[in-house]
Homo-oligomer: A and B are copies of this chain.
Amino acid sequence: MTATQGPSAGDGVIGTPDTSSTADTPVSGRDTVAEVVRQWRAVHPDLDTGPMEVIGRINRCAALFQQAEDAPLRRAGLTRPEFDLLGALRRTGHELTPSELARETFSSGAAVTKRLKQLTERGLVERRGDTRDRRVAHVRLTDAGRELVDGILPSQLAYENAVLSGLGPVELGDLAGLLGGLLAQLEGRLGALRA
C-alpha cells in the first residue's frame, strides 16, 4: 500500500501554528525523539517525519514508564503484568475466567496461565472450576490478594502522579483527552488496518 506521501501535509503537520521557525528545532524542545527526528530530516529532507513525533514519543514514554513507573509495584514483588491481572480482578469486583483475564489484560492465554500459576502459589488468587462447564475456571482474589492490591494502588497512583508532575493539570487533561481520542480510533479501526 503506497499511501500518497503527504505532499502538502509534509512539513506542516507538526509545526502548525505555534512553533517559531521551520529551519531548526521545529518542534518542542529537547527530548531525545526531537533529536532523532532532526537527524532523520537531515538525511531524508523529503520525508514526512510527523508520525515519528507522536509514535516515537509514545513508545519512548512507555519504555521509560516500564523502567521507572513501577517502583512501588516492584517493592511489593509484583511485575506490571501481574499487577494488571490482579487489578482486573479487583476493579471488576467479580470472578473472571482465564480467557476473560487475557482479554482484560491484553495478553495471550498462555501468559495468563503462567501468571496465574505463580500468583496462586503466592496465595494471591484462587481458582474454582465451573460446575456446568468443566473446561472453564473461575479466578478470584484471595483476601491477601485484595489487600495487596488495595495497599499498593494508592502509592502507585501517587508515584505516577509524581512522574507526571512536570505537566500542569490543564496540559495533563488535554493530553489525556488527545490520547483517549487516538486510542479510541486505534482500538476501533486498527484490526482492520492490519495490512
Contact = CB atoms under 8 A, between A and B. Distances in A.
B64 A190 contact: yes
B14 A176 contact: yes
Counting every copy of the chain, the complex holds 2
Contacts of A184: 14, 28-31, 166
Nearest to A176: B53
Given A39-B92, A55-B160, A162-B3, A63 B179 contact: no
Size category of the A interface is 35 or more
A17 B40 CA distance: 38
Interface string A1-31: 1110110011111111111000000111111
B29 A161 contact: no
A91 interface: yes
